[in-house]
Amino acid sequence: MKNFPVSFDILLYIVYMGDKKHDDPSVVTASHHDALTSVLGSKDEALKSIVYSYKHGFSGFAAMLTESQAEALAKFPEVITVKRNTFHKLHTTRSWDFLGLDYQPPQQSGLLQKAKYGEDVIIGVVDTGIWPESRSFNDRGYGPVPARWKGKCQTGEQFNTTSCNRKIIGARSYHRGISAESLKSDYNSPRDINGHGTHVASTIAGVEVQGVSVGGLASGVARGGAPRARLAIYKACWEGDGCPDATVLAAIDHAIHDGVDVLSLSLGGFGPEYSGTLHAVQRGISLVFAGGNDGPVPQTVTNTVPWVTTVAASTIDRAFPTVISLGNNEKLVGQSLMHNASLISSDFKDLIYARSCSAEFVASSNVTGKIVLCSAPAQAKFRPPRIAFGDALNQTLMAGAKGLIFAQYTTNLMDSLAGIERIMPVVLVDFEIAQRLISYFDTAGSPVVKFSPTMTVVGDGVLSPRVASFSSRGPSLAFPGILKPDITAPGVSILAARRDSYVLYSGTSMACPHVSAVTALIKSVHPDWSPAMIKSAIVTTALVTDRFGMPIQADAVPRKLADPFDFGGGHINPDRAADPGLVYNVDAKEYNNFFNCTVGLLDGCDSYQLNLNLPSIAVPNLKNQVTTWRTITNVGPVEATYRAVVEAPAGVAVSVEPSVISFTAGGCWPEDLRHSNDDGWRNLKDSGYGQSFSTRMGQSFNGQAAQLEGGRRTPAGMGVGAAPWQRWWIWTILYIVYMGDKKHDDPSVVTASHHDALTSVLGSKDEALKSIVYSYKHGFSGFAAMLTESQAEALAKFPEVITVKRNTFHKLHTTRSWDFLGLDYQPPQQSGLLQKAKYGEDVIIGVVDTGIWPESRSFNDRGYGPVPARWKGKCQTGEQFNTTSCNRKIIGARSYHRGISAESLKSDYNSPRDINGHGTHVASTIAGVEVQGVSVGGLASGVARGGAPRARLAIYKACWEGDGCPDATVLAAIDHAIHDGVDVLSLSLGGFGPEYSGTLHAVQRGISLVFSGGNDGPVPQTVTNTVPWVTTVAASTIDRAFPTLISLGNNEKLVGQSLMHNASLISSDFKDLIYARSCSAELVASSNVTGKIVLCSAPAQAKFRPPAIALQDALNQTLMAGAKGLIFAQYTTNLMDGLAGIERIMPVVLVDFEIAQRLLISYFDTAGSPVVKFSPTMTVVGDGVLSPRVASFSSRGPSLAFPGILKPDITAPGVSILAARRDSYVLYSGTSMACPHVSAVTALIKSVHPDWSPAMIKSAIVTTASVTDRFGMPIQADAVPRKLADPFDFGGGHINPDRAADPGLVYNVDAKEYNNFFNCTVGLLDGCDSYQLNLNLPSIAVPNLKNQVTTWRTITNVGPVEATYRAIVEAPAGVAVSVEPSMISFTAGGTRSVTFKLTFTAKQRVQGGYTFGSLTWSDQSTHSVRIPIAIRTVIQDFVADTS
């Protein structure tokens, strides 16, 4: 940078001199030096003064001058204008699919395909530079740089020649004139420290990048609109200084010289746009500018000269709804970006209403530790939402709040949340939602709320597009006769690259690159079209209605119907723009008169504005009558007739002459354009071209969330003046690299390919061997390796690599039950499934868990024959585990210690031996042999056995003390299980990341996989392991209870539940009873509980905290206070697992609130000295116990990952299950206990029907399940409060093994059909909703029914050859269901499979809630084949607009 003399009156001026007079740039520069020399007095002073010489596209310069020197230059005849340098702000991908530019075939006829994805179009980006290492700029598969390119790759700080490639074909930066402070906080090179330019460039032309998200939100594929275009980067914008005129003009000048086709400028109102930009357009370059982020205030649109395309911003069909749960069980929905799990508590927090959240209101409210509601409709008109939000955020953060609910008219403030989600949960709502919160606050005694994690919702459920509230509005202040903006495009919550990651930004800066990309695609299809023709095509084909035919709205205060000052011609429609039929062309020379008006060289400018042949008309001053002219050019069929259709502005009469125009072969072909004809469109009195120029206020709607582009951010850990690079430790992390089907049968060859891939990234074979942890080579190809992030990214670019994911760790999900299910071990039930399956004889069941305790009596192999010959596994020895630990029952055992922390290995056995007990419990539940006389301290006494007691067990220890169940070890276990030859694989563990890869390969090898669904219920959308090819299991109760008698001092006896079997703790003496309400620390401390039995009962508080947490708190408080017993009340009594171990310390009895109330009213409040005593717990089995019930802890649907896949699939016993742990037997609860029940039934069915596919077995289980209990009553689901169970609680219902063995019909899926679904999950395919809907599953979920949906299913007869089935429909509320055909007959010799169609039609338009039904095929005798149905109807507005 030049060192300029520091003087208050020396400033940077832009001197514009028009067209260059010489082709030689050096001669042009010399003329600049001469002009400066004549003013400054010497050549040396001139050389010191000049900053930029604009010599390629036009003539001019930027120089440091005093005001008088600038005035002197302005008098030179060759000088047109002299202006002070000004600084401009930056205007800051689902979006491309939303615009119809689907990347994948079969849309071969679309613009994207016609344009060959923008192949070799050169797009210049004037912005903050580029981060070249981003995956979005990979040049794999690109050919040579186009020969016409004349640019360069300018090197500099952290930017060398290799930073450019065949994608980024050129890069320049402009540092002269930038302050020293700005240069210190930025890279002095084209490298982008800010991220804005990288985001813009990747939105325009980024290559396809799979698996992108922001903390799991907006996940999918990131790509640009013209993914095969080339990029030319011009860094004219800098940290601190923004985008000075001088640097932007230098960038435009070079872009003209370099040979760009399109120039994209996502920056604020550019002063010298009247000069440099015009020269660019006259060289055939299309310029696209952002329109500004100062909306919804009128007259704020910038960059309004007629030869550029000015872009407004609008929303896409993606939202981020966040559920706000109230203490009264009501749920409301707002918008947020919360993806920091550590900040999202499952506990309720106090709600405080602080009105406007001004400093005074917050100071006068106790907001510390609470969630604050800020809502002041009456104040909204005084402060823009963005300012009010910023103030509220600062005030609540400083006051120690734990969350913020902020209300305003519209929710287009999402970008203001960027970074906040790492500090405090913030949810945006509209005032309607806020009012419901206020009503709750005013009526609840102790109002509380909690947030659920934010979700991503995409599609028709979101009202879109809408013009964003921040988008600057017309009319143009500078040129009121030029209608601006020209177009709107997606600019809200756009996912694109920033450095090495991907972020959501909003702004017209994000809308501008969308139009730039479409411009490039049209340029590719129509290379002879002028910039004006391309702009015309975009404007005239734009949409003014949304997908439902409703007028597009504009977010404002209040929301309104959009008009041309909001969105110009409308919302961009790329495919239509490629074939507009007619265009309004402008010879670029015609702009000269307009330009000369702007610099005062001509008069009569109103006429030039009115008659410029633009695809819009603005008449700012109609008095009586105005006439204007337009020329249209036919670019469509040679033979065509067009008729004028006028929508006249209110109060204005419009006439068009002629009103019918015909084009014929051989007609007029102006400007060498084919099939063209010129006709004057004469508009008497004013034409609005079918658009109103005045604001048409429509119905008021509350807003939906969006993001506003904020100011440029200082990168984490760096402030102004900090060094641009800091030293960081480079950490290696375990990554899972998935490569799909193995390419070789020989595992060693597969492993060698893994070593080769690693060697190419790490540099040596030795480093590769050190790095690799697991090679997955049997069932599929992939490996786990210790890598840095950059190494992982490098591997992800390999064509053979499908996904690269960081290793994650999963939690484990933790026998009367088999008798309860009807699988009675003893004859005479000779016809049952257990007997038909020969008790699971020789079925091999793999168990992926914490290992096995081989000495347990449950794994005795007495009476077993040889190990099945097909078994290929091994018995891996290790710590306290040798070859004799396996036998003919446990036929194989492996453990996976690589990648496990040293701490975990110290606290576990480094072998398949199970220190935890979970795996042993699961394995014995599945296939334990019969063990007599088992109990837990005398409780639950009887026979312990597994569901398939003659099955063989293969043990895979992938879960460890401390570390849990890492992806890498689980995947290794699945890989080996495929190789070893298991028939069924049981995985009682939390949501498994790579389930999309390894599990699919297992199913495609005929292995049935059964997963637990999770223990995070009863919260909706918590179910895990939800891919369609596995069976996902919920947990329910059995018909066994453990009643405990509570004797009162008045001889009354009440009954609760307990596990008291420690006789030394059960006193025969009465003890004092004390009531401590919720048993909080304060209440226990204020009560004298020492030596007493404490009653904890607080119904009003129960809705604030989950019962399990409340129980643990009460236990801790009472134990520490020296109590001798606890009676704990809650809505449900499914907390028995929380008592594990407590029975050895203190008697605890669980009661419901009814019993607690009797203790209080009937006894405690009336007795002078209330006393109680407990009797030992008993075991009760049979019809007296209400069962089954879905357990309160059982995770619920719908699936967050795949809402179109109904999960869970089934429920099975998972509460107080007695099974082996080490040498004893214990009661465990969890979906981990339910999963092995389904695994065993799956094994039995596999034994009876060895030729059935995993899908057929799953179908048999789901379609024969029970939805009523033994008394014909609907099964209930424990929750707060308890409810009737629906498919999101239990899938098809409660498992019925004997019926599952003979289902009559099954829904089969060829395992290859899952491939499309899998490809969707890794971003290789679009249209995933269709794959989910039509996958031949034994369930149907439609999460977004608007009007009508049709899906198809195929049923296969596995029952009697001659059979007729009739459809019985239980329609979800508000939905009509039709089945075609409704009767199906099977005959001997006929087809065994029949396809039918289901059509769902919404009968009413309601938002959000799911309703449930079923379809049953009945043969009127033996078989009823039932599948569950879940439908959610939605309307146009979503989330924050309505709840």
Read off the pLDDT of residues 1210-1249 as tens digits, 9 standing for 90 and up.
999 999 899 999 999 998 989 999 999 999 999 999 999 9
Question: Taking 70 as the threshold, does the pLDDT of residue 1322 lie above it?
Answer: no
> Comparing 150-159, 911-920, 960-969, which segment has the lowest mean pLDDT?
960-969
Say if residues 737 and 785 touch (Cβ distance below 8 Å): yes
pLDDT of residue 1325: 65
| Residue 594's pLDDT band (cuts 50, 70, 90) | confident
Q: What is the pTM of this model?
A: 0.54
pLDDT of residue 1324: 65
Burial of 1432 from C-beta contacts in 10 A (0-12 / 13-18 / 19+): buried
Question: Taking 90 as the threshold, does the pLDDT of residue 196 lie above it?
Answer: yes
Question: Taking 50 as the threshold, does the pLDDT of residue 913 lie above it?
Answer: yes
Mean pLDDT of 543-553: 77
| Residue 378's pLDDT band (cuts 50, 70, 90) | low
pLDDT of residue 553: 79
Mean pLDDT of 34-42: 92
> Comparing 192-206, 418-432, 1305-1319, which segment has the lowest mean pLDDT?
418-432
Question: Taking 70 as the threshold, does the pLDDT of residue 452 lie above it?
Answer: yes
pLDDT of residue 697: 23
Mean pLDDT of 718-742: 51
pLDDT of residue 1061: 78
Read off the pLDDT of residues 1131-1166 as tens digits, 9 standing for 90 and up.
765 677 677 677 778 899 999 877 888 887 678 888
Read off the pLDDT of residues 474-508 as tens digits, 9 standing for 90 and up.
888 778 899 999 999 999 989 999 999 998 888 89
| Residue 1209's pLDDT band (cuts 50, 70, 90) | very high
Instruction: Identify the top-confidence range among 115-119, 491-495, 1186-1190, 1377-1381.
Output: 1377-1381
Q: What is the DSSP string of 308-334?
A: SEEEEEE--SEE-EEEEEETTS-EEEE
| Residue 1381's pLDDT band (cuts 50, 70, 90) | very high
Nearest to 191 by CA among 150, 223, 263, 239: 239
- Within 8 A by CB and 6+ apart from 684, the residues are 625, 627, 653, 654, 655, 657
Question: Taking 70 as the threshold, does the pLDDT of residue 418 lie above it?
Answer: no
Read off the pLDDT of residues 610-621 as tens digits, 9 standing for 90 and up.
889 999 999 988
Q: Report in angstroms the alpha-carbon separations of 657 from 581, 667, 680, 687, 840.
A: 20, 19, 7, 12, 87
pLDDT of residue 439: 81
- Residues 1308 and 1253: their CA atoms lie apart, in Å, by 7
Read off the pLDDT of residues 432-442 as tens digits, 9 standing for 90 and up.
678 789 889 88
- Residues 370 and 647: their CA atoms lie apart, in Å, by 54
Question: Taking 70 as the threshold, does the pLDDT of residue 191 lie above it?
Answer: yes
Residues facing 1071 on adjacent strands: 1172
State the distance between the two ends of the chain, measured CA to CA, in whole angstroms. Answer: 57
pLDDT of residue 902: 92
Read off the pLDDT of residues 1184-1193 as tens digits, 9 standing for 90 and up.
788 899 988 8
Give the catalytic positions in this structure. Answer: 127, 196, 509, 849, 918, 1232
Percent of the chain with pLDDT over 90: 46
Mean pLDDT of 162-168: 96
pLDDT of residue 1198: 84
> Comparing 667-681, 786-800, 1090-1104, 1132-1146, which segment has the lowest mean pLDDT?
667-681
Say if residues 1125 and 1096 touch (Cβ distance below 8 Å): no
Instruction: Identify the top-confidence range among 456-460, 727-731, 1175-1179.
Output: 1175-1179
pLDDT of residue 1443: 28
Mean pLDDT of 312-318: 89
Strand ranges (E), 580-635: 582-583, 627-628, 633-634
Our measurement of the distance from residue 183's CA atom to the centroid of its chain's CA atoms, rounded to an integer in Å, reads 37
pLDDT of residue 90: 52
The count of other CB atoms within 10 Å of the CB of residue 989 is 29
Nearest to 949 by CA among 1037, 874, 871, 864: 864
Lookup: tokens for 524:
């590719």
Question: Taking 70 as the threshold, does the pLDDT of residue 1428 lie above it?
Answer: yes
Question: Taking 70 as the threshold, does the pLDDT of residue 47 lie above it?
Answer: yes
Lookup: tokens for 74:
């302005």
Read off the pLDDT of residues 744-764 as tens digits, 9 standing for 90 and up.
888 889 889 999 999 999 998
Mean pLDDT of all residues belonging to the chain: 84
pLDDT of residue 310: 96
Q: Answer with the residue of higher pLDDT: 1160 or 397.
A: 397
Element spanning 433, H or E:
helix 431-443
pLDDT of residue 879: 96
Say if residues 182 and 238 touch (Cβ distance below 8 Å): yes
Instruction: Identify the top-confidence range among 535-544, 548-557, 1281-1290.
Output: 535-544
Say if residues 885 and 955 touch (Cβ distance below 8 Å): no
Strand ranges (E), 788-886: 803-806, 809-810, 844-849
- Residues 591 and 599: their CA atoms lie apart, in Å, by 13
Question: Taking 50 as the threshold, does the pLDDT of residue 308 lie above it?
Answer: yes
Question: Taking 80 as the threshold, does the pLDDT of residue 672 lie above it?
Answer: no
| Residue 4's pLDDT band (cuts 50, 70, 90) | very low
Mean pLDDT of 673-682: 31
- Residues 505 and 496: their CA atoms lie apart, in Å, by 8
Question: Taking 70 as the threshold, does the pLDDT of residue 1260 lie above it?
Answer: yes
Say if residues 236 and 251 touch (Cβ distance below 8 Å): yes
pLDDT of residue 685: 25
Strand ranges (E), 1170-1238: 1171-1174, 1180-1181, 1189-1190, 1210-1213, 1217-1221, 1224-1228
Pairing of strands 286-290, 262-265: parallel
pLDDT of residue 722: 24
Question: Taking 70 as the threshold, does the pLDDT of residue 381 lie above it?
Answer: no
The count of other CB atoms within 10 Å of the CB of residue 730 is 9
Question: Taking 80 as the threshold, does the pLDDT of residue 340 lie above it?
Answer: no
pLDDT of residue 259: 95
